[in-house]
């Protein structure tokens, strides 16, 4: 159920470079080579102090960057943050807030594409109860996706479990990035996971994979195997 977005097949894999320092990051980047074209840089690496130098280094190598910083603040501050990140060669960034924050982010963005986080893939029904949400995960995700589109966001981050519902109930122009991809048995804190084939069958444009590649005996071999799975899924 792939959409009409013009995406190179090997760009559909986004590797989550969740490591604590630049040395480890650069070792992984060298090992992965051309098996990964798209990198997600999140909060852990942001606090290393080398976020923007590594970002610039990756961009100089022809890599695409997903700055996953989940901006959440008053709308004016979110807009200012988006204008700051827009000065760098970043393809995607994330906002994790209400309509005011999403709209402010979308309006401030000139080059970067703003993705709205729907519901973290580590959350399940029990977690939503704890957070005070009086709805199930699917209802929350669909509501957030519709609101993200209305606010001008380019896309959303959502579990592959809800991807098919989004494709059925929300405009297909919305870009869909799916984390929580587990090509092998899942034993970590991610609860709402799918495999590669399921994600693309459900309508994902991109998948985000971190630990299954990073913790593999051969990260490059694992990345290449996932690229093969993506190719099989979209052709």
Residues designated catalytic: 70
Please give the Cα distance from 81 to 162 (Å, whole number).
Answer: 29
Is the separation of the CB atoms in 213 and 15 below 8 Å?
yes
Which three-class secondary structure state does DSSP give residue 71?
Answer: strand
Alpha helices (H) in 15-98, listed in sequence order: 22-32, 43-46, 51-60, 75-85
Please give the Cα distance from 48 to 84 (Å, whole number).
Answer: 19
Of 116, 119, 120, 117, which Cα lies nearest the Cα of 154? Answer: 116
Please give the Cα distance from 116 to 151 (Å, whole number).
Answer: 10
Please give the Cα distance from 106 to 35 (Å, whole number).
Answer: 31
């Amino acid at each position: 159920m792939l959409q009409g977005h013009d995406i190179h097949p090997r760009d559909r894999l986004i590797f989550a470079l969740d490591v604590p320092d630049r040395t480890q990051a650069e070792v992984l980047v060298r090992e992965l080579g051309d098996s990964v074209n798209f990198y997600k840089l999140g909060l852990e690496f942001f606090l290393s102090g080398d976020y923007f130098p590594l970002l610039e280094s990756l961009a100089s190598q022809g890599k695409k960057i997903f700055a996953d910083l989940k901006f959440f603040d008053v709308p004016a501050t979110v807009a200012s943050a988006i204008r700051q990140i827009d000065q760098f060669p970043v393809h995607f960034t994330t906002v994790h807030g209400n309509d005011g924050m999403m709209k402010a982010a979308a309006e401030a963005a000139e080059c970067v594409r703003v993705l709205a986080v729907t519901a973290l893939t580590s959350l399940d029904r029990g977690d939503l109860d704890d957070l005070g949400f009086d709805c199930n995960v699917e209802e929350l995700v669909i509501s957030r996706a519709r609101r993200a589109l209305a606010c001008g966001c380019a896309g959303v981050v959502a579990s592959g479990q809800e991807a098919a519902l989004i494709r059925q109930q929300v405009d297909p122009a919305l870009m869909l990035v799916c984390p929580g991809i587990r090509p092998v048995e899942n034993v970590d804190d991610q609860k709402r996971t799918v495999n590669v084939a399921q994600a693309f069958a459900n309508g994902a444009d991109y998948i985000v994979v971190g630990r299954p590649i990073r913790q593999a005996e051969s990260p490059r071999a694992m990345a290449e195997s996932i690229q093969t799975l993506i190719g099989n899924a979209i052709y």
